[in-house]
Amino acid sequence: MPPRPARRTQPAGSDGETSRNGDSIAATLRRLRREADLTLQELADRCGLASSTLSKIENGQMSPTYDTMLRVADGLGLDMADLFTGTSSKDVGGRRTVTRRGQGILRRTEHYSYEMLAAELSGKQFIPLLTTIEAGSIEAFPSLVRHSGEEFFYVLSGQVTLHTEHYAPTLLAPGDSCYFDSSMGHACVSSGEEPAQILWIGSRVVAPLTG
């Protein structure tokens, strides 16, 4: 499959990371927390995160990872995309949404660049992401990521090495896919000359895990 044309991106941790309504992720998170009538400590307890971590995110001093965004959204009872749109839709039957090429919500972290698909729908049972893997070495990760749920990804372009607990690192090429338990420590790195691109789908339910 040929690679997609270059899409707009923004530096990780930049105050320029904005949701569609113009709020930064920091301001949006602070507003959503206050609307839920939660203190920093109360939300931190729900998410299994340190209150100091949430404070840094709300003040634009830290760029949240994918795992952190999942935990915060779950703690607020929202979809992860709601942290960027600043809104949430009611969970009703007969829903449908179309995401046109290159029109998803973009988010860049230290290890991955995401395009959130179907972002208009809140409370989805799974989260679809078009993901570019920026990390080129497992050493880029301080530790493997763990959270509840399950994940699936399909390699669109490039070479991906999947690192997990209990298994040897596995190299995947375009057309290969993998399904795994998210509570098992895991991380993906690009192993080719260019960053790999994958369609990544994860279940929505997240609970903090130790380790």
2 versus 151: which is more confidently predicted? 151
28 versus 154: which is more confidently predicted? 154
With a CB cutoff of 8 Å and minimum separation 6, the contacts of 48 are 71, 207, 208
Would you state the structure tokens that stand for residue 2, as one six-digit string? 């040929």
By the 8 A CB rule, do 3 and 12 touch? no
Confidence of residue 210 (pLDDT cuts 50, 70, 90): very low
Would you state the structure tokens that stand for residue 152, as one six-digit string? 């699936």
Q: By three-state DSSP, how is residue 105 classified?
A: strand
Q: How far apart are the C-alpha atoms of 146 and 143, rounded to whole Å? A: 9
The string of DSSP letters for 40-94 reads HHHHHHHHT--HHHHHHHHTTS-PPPHHHHHHHHHHHTS-TTHHHHS------SS
Q: Is the pTM of this model over 0.85?
A: no
pLDDT at position 15 over 80: no
Confidence of residue 61 (pLDDT cuts 50, 70, 90): confident
Condensed to tens digits (0 to 9), the pLDDT of residues 128-157 reads: 999 999 999 999 998 898 888 899 999 999
Q: How far apart are the C-alpha atoms of 204 and 128, rounded to whole Å? A: 10
83 versus 204: which is more confidently predicted? 83
pLDDT at position 209 over 50: no
Confidence of residue 76 (pLDDT cuts 50, 70, 90): confident
200 versus 67: which is more confidently predicted? 200
* CA 56 from centroid of its chain's CA atoms: 18
149 versus 165: which is more confidently predicted? 165
**Which pLDDT does position 151 carry in this prediction?**
94
pLDDT at position 188 over 50: yes
Cβ neighbour number for residue 183 with a 10 Å cutoff: 15
Confidence of residue 125 (pLDDT cuts 50, 70, 90): confident
pLDDT at position 5 over 80: no
Average pLDDT, the chain: 81
All domains of the chain, ordered by start, with CATH?
25-85 (1.10.260.40), 125-203 (2.60.120.10)
**Scanning the structure block, which residue is given the tokens 């279940």?**
203
